[in-house]
């Protein structure tokens, strides 16, 4: 996608071949900064501190982390160590393990002298496949949006509610949940997006609003609390979110608060779609609430916040009384029964084992 | 309630009889500041800017606003003007109209020479009645909490989830939703409160956490997004909130986001109680979603936030990209079907016309 007229991905190998470069997402929307990462430790820190975030981008970053490991030392022990280090960065997104396993397998299968090249090749492939998957999700989702727009007699605007950031910044390019929005917008559907600010990290306010603004998609920032009211009053035509891990049975782990929006969509008969590339589907799991590990992060992400002061610089302010403890849970699980459908790169399906088996027969067979 | 050992109400007539004093709730938790208000315009501004807030306290402040109007000029035209000015400050809480109508009726019935005295007397009565009602709500709610505690075999702790601030700061004293919590805590039940931060004004983080901290009630601050996850995992024994206006049929208008918590409580079989003094019940209304006016406030309450910087001073920071519009809806309506029961000063009842008729036969008869 473009930033002020220049095309960017969120991650790419540096021109000198000795590092990886990423957009530093902790600085947006106040500053657009490119960060150069040269070691496994730097990649791990970037994932942990959310310089890069979003399940697909975490996978891609981990891929390049393995390539950097190979560059330093392509021996099995070092590859295994890098796998362990990177896997420990964040627990919920399954793309991380998916990408790391794939990288390790590819590296180990290669002879020592070509491991570095093989690793960079596979990391690039993971990125390109992500872009292709998101483009396909965009197509399939666009068809759903277009059908709703026709149902609305193509009058007024088509209102999407989204939570967190599942836009191009969460992926290598295009986004998952926002790919259909960009496609529909570019095709002339008057899409308007209600953007949950997404406390406590405010990815909606900081990243989704910024993305949509840069691409010219009409949008309105709202508090996470507001979605129920909007749904109750017919102001939302569909809810569209991403996922960090979806079970083979269709339960969806996504940013904390997603479950509440799914309940409200269901209560008001509004479709709730989840954009789920297969890299985020954990076919072996059956019970999302019990089986998906949910990350707990530093409470200061809730009690302190960074913003821009009048001078244009940023500052951190404290929001809560000194002495009040806080709990910061990163994700929740939306049961499959609340999900209208999954939008995958292979098409749209029921959020169920049967639905997924139709599109991914090879995966559901082995995962059961 | 006590602040650092000194007993306070949230509003009281000044010692010199020429003004009203209030705790400035826009300064908490960073500073404890008493504000002196001397005119109707100052009272109206204090309500509008949320120096005083919370449905019962808004009613009490409006009462004293009418008394200040009488003090300046006790003629009917001035009383009517004050009624109009104060009624226009905020649309959702019905206590405002309830208190203003009662004040005007009392003032008009009095001869000119005793109107001022009559007005101060009625305003004080509204305050005292609020305290008595909240104390009674505390008793009835304590019984509910105690029953849940017994059901839990009196083991571990009893977890309450609350939204916004319905504590003593929202009333003259004691609070509505927090009155049962204080009672249960003081009676030795190990109550623990999950406090929704309550975006965008953060009344949970700023006021509820502060109140609970000052009284020594164990609590944990959470993002508004987190309640669904906690309910799903059995971490909440009951949800307990206040109300700005409840219809005669039991629909509950309360701080934006309440409806989402009610859906999650219902989805997980956890009781959802609303502390509703009769002053906040609009017996004449039947359909909360359609009939209760919902306040829309300045979008900057969402895109900017005040907090404490390292020096101990406060600063305002911007949270969203310049150019992204925002919508700030103050309240939502929880349909009666999601409300386990209302806790009123006369006891606990179904959130229904029949339930309310049993406790308030005089009001439901005239209101239908």
In chain B, whose CA is at the least distance from the CA of A29? B321
**Which candidate in B321, B335, B336 is best for mutational testing of the A interface (most A CBs within 10 A)?**
B321
In chain B, whose CA is at the least distance from the CA of A200? B223
Q: Which residue is listed with tokens 């840069």? A: A214
Nearest to B325 among A202, A221, A325 (CB): A221
Torsion angles phi and psi, residue A344, rounded to 5: -110, 175
Q: Distance (Å) from the C-alpha of residue B129 to the closest C-alpha of chain A?
A: 31
Look at residues A110, A180, A176 and name the one whose alpha carbon lies nearest to residue A149: A180
**Do the chains contact at A309 and B327, CB–CB below 8 Å?**
no
| Tens digits of pLDDT across chain B (368 residues) | 888 889 999 999 999 989 999 999 999 999 999 999 999 999 999 999 999 999 999 999 999 999 999 999 999 999 999 999 999 999 999 999 999 999 999 999 999 999 999 999 999 999 999 999 999 999 999 999 999 999 999 999 999 999 999 999 999 999 999 999 999 999 999 999 999 999 999 999 999 999 999 999 999 999 999 999 999 999 999 999 999 999 999 999 999 999 999 999 999 999 999 999 999 999 999 999 999 999 999 999 999 999 999 899 999 999 999 999 999 999 999 999 999 999 999 999 999 999 999 999 999 764 44
**Per-residue pLDDT at B74:** 96
CA of B263: how far to CAs of A283, A299, B92, B272, in Å?
Answer: 29, 26, 22, 9
**Do the chains contact at B315 and A320, CB–CB below 8 Å?**
no
Write down the domain spans for chain A: 2-128, 139-364
Per CATH, which fold does A139-364 belong to?
Rossmann fold (3.40.50)
**Do the chains contact at A226 and B327, CB–CB below 8 Å?**
yes
**Per-residue pLDDT at A368:** 41
Q: Are B132 and B173 in contact (CB under 8 A)?
A: no
Beta-ladder partners of B158: B191
**Do the chains contact at B223 and A199, CB–CB below 8 Å?**
yes
**Do the chains contact at B195 and A324, CB–CB below 8 Å?**
yes
Nearest to A225 among B199, B210, B325 (CB): B199
What residues in B contact A317, CB-CB < 8 Å? 305-309, 314-315, 317
**Which candidate in B193, B197, B222, B225 is best for mutational testing of the A interface (most A CBs within 10 A)?**
B225
Could you read off the pLDDT of A37-67 as tens digits, one per residue?
Answer: 999 999 999 999 999 999 999 999 999 999 9
Q: Which two tokens stand for residue A191?
A: 């899409």
Considering only CA atoms, give the Rg of chain A. 20
Mean pLDDT of A322-346: 98
Name the catalytic one among B244, B251, B282, B332.
B244
Q: Distance (Å) from the C-alpha of residue A311 to the closest C-alpha of chain B?
A: 10
A244 is catalytic: yes
Give A365's pLDDT tier (boundaries 50, 70, 90).
Answer: low
Beta-ladder partners of B307: B315
Burial class (CB in 10 A: 0-12, 13-18, 19+), A25: buried
Rounded Cα–Cα distance for residues B196 and B222 (Å): 5
Q: Distance (Å) from the C-alpha of residue A298 to the closest C-alpha of chain B?
A: 12
**Per-residue pLDDT at A126:** 97
List, in order, residues 6 or more apart from A310 with CB less than 8 Å away.
none
**Do the chains contact at A289 and B220, CB–CB below 8 Å?**
no
Q: Distance (Å) from the C-alpha of residue A36 to the closest C-alpha of chain B?
A: 25
**Which candidate in B198, B251, B319 is best for mutational testing of the A interface (most A CBs within 10 A)?**
B319
What residues in B contact A314, CB-CB < 8 Å? 317
**Do the chains contact at A228 and B197, CB–CB below 8 Å?**
no
A&B contacts, CB < 8 Å: 225
**Per-residue pLDDT at B249:** 98
**Do the chains contact at A210 and B324, CB–CB below 8 Å?**
yes
Q: Which residue is listed with tokens 């608060």? A: A257
The three-state DSSP-derived secondary structure of B46-88 is: HHHCCCCCCHHHHHHHHHHHHHHHHHHCCCHHHHHHHHHHHHC
Nearest to A202 among B194, B212, B319 (CB): B319
**Which candidate in A320, A335, A337 is best for mutational testing of the B interface (most B CBs within 10 A)?**
A320
**Per-residue pLDDT at B2:** 85
**Do the chains contact at B221 and A320, CB–CB below 8 Å?**
yes
Give A269's pLDDT tier (boundaries 50, 70, 90).
Answer: very high
**Per-residue pLDDT at B365:** 62
Q: State the CB neighbour count (10 A cutoff) for residue B150.
A: 10
**Per-residue pLDDT at A102:** 98
**Do the chains contact at A318 and B329, CB–CB below 8 Å?**
no
What residues in B contact A27, CB-CB < 8 Å? none
With H, G, I as helix, E, B as strand and everything else as coil, classify residue A16.
coil
Q: Distance (Å) from the C-alpha of residue B11 to the closest C-alpha of chain A?
A: 22
β-pairing verdict for B158-162 and A281-282 = unpaired
User: DSSP assignment, residue A219?
Assistant: E
**Do the chains contact at B256 and A219, CB–CB below 8 Å?**
no
Res. A227: pLDDT tops 50: yes
In chain B, whose CA is at the least distance from the CA of A314? B317
Q: Which residue is listed with tokens 């002020």? A: A4
**Do the chains contact at B318 and A307, CB–CB below 8 Å?**
yes
Name the catalytic one among A224, A244, A251, A282.
A244
User: DSSP assignment, residue A347?
Assistant: E
**Do the chains contact at A220 and B320, CB–CB below 8 Å?**
no
Beta-ladder partners of B240: B273
**Per-residue pLDDT at A211:** 96
What residues in B contact A233, CB-CB < 8 Å? 289
Q: Distance (Å) from the C-alpha of residue B265 to the closest C-alpha of chain A?
A: 10
Q: Distance (Å) from the C-alpha of residue A154 to the closest C-alpha of chain B?
A: 24
Give A1's pLDDT tier (boundaries 50, 70, 90).
Answer: confident
What residues in B contact A309, CB-CB < 8 Å? 315-318
What residues in B contact A219, CB-CB < 8 Å? 324-325
What residues in A contact B319, CB-CB < 8 Å? 197, 202, 205-206, 305, 307
Res. A12: pLDDT tops 80: yes
Q: Which residue is listed with tokens 């009893």? A: B158
Beta-ladder partners of B222: B196
**Do the chains contact at A259 and B323, CB–CB below 8 Å?**
no
The pTM for the full model equals 0.97
Rounded Cα–Cα distance for residues A252 and A245 (Å): 6
Per CATH, which fold does A2-128 belong to?
1.20.120
């Amino acid at each position: 996608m473009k930033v002020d007229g220049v095309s960017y991905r969120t991650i790419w190998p540096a021109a000198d071949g000795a590092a990886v470069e990423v957009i530093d997402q902790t600085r947006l929307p106040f500053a657009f900064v490119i960060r150069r990462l040269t070691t496994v430790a730097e990649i791990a820190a970037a994932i942990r501190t959310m310089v890069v975030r979003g399940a697909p981008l975490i996978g891609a970053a981990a891929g390049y982390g393995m390539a950097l490991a190979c560059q330093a030392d392509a021996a099995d022990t070092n590859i295994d160590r890098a796998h362990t280090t990177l896997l420990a960065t964040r627990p919920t997104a399954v793309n991380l393990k998916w990408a790391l396993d794939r990288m390790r397998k590819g590296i180990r299968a290669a002879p020592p002298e070509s491991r570095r090249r093989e690793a960079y090749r596979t990391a690039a492939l993971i990125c390109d496949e992500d872009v292709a998957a998101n483009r396909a999700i965009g197509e399939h989702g666009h068809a759903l949006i277009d059908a709703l727009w026709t149902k609305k007699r193509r009058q007024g605007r088509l209102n999407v509610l989204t939570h967190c950031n599942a836009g191009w910044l969460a992926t290598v390019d295009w986004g998952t949940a926002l790919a259909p929005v960009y496609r529909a917008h570019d095709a002339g559907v008057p899409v308007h997006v209600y953007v949950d600010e997404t406390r406590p990290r405010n990815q909606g306010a900081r990243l989704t609003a910024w993305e949509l603004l840069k691409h010219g998609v009409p949008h309105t920032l709202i508090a996470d609390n507001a979605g129920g009211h909007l749904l109750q009053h017919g102001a939302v035509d569909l809810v569209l979110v991403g996922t960090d891990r979806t079970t083979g049975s269709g339960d969806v782990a996504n940013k904390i608060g997603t479950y509440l929006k799914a309940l409200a969509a269901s209560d008001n008969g509004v479709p709730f779609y989840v954009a789920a590339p297969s890299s985020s589907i954990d076919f072996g799991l059956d019970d999302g609430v019990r089986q998906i590990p949910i990350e707990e992060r530093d409470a200061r992400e809730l009690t302190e916040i960074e913003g821009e002061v009048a001078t244009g610089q940023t500052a951190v302010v404290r929001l809560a009384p000194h002495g009040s403890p806080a709990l910061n849970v990163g994700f929740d699980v939306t049961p499959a029964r609340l999900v209208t459908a999954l939008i995958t790169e292979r098409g749209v399906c029921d959020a169920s084992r049967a639905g997924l088996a139709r599109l991914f027969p090879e995966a559901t067979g082995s995962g059961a």
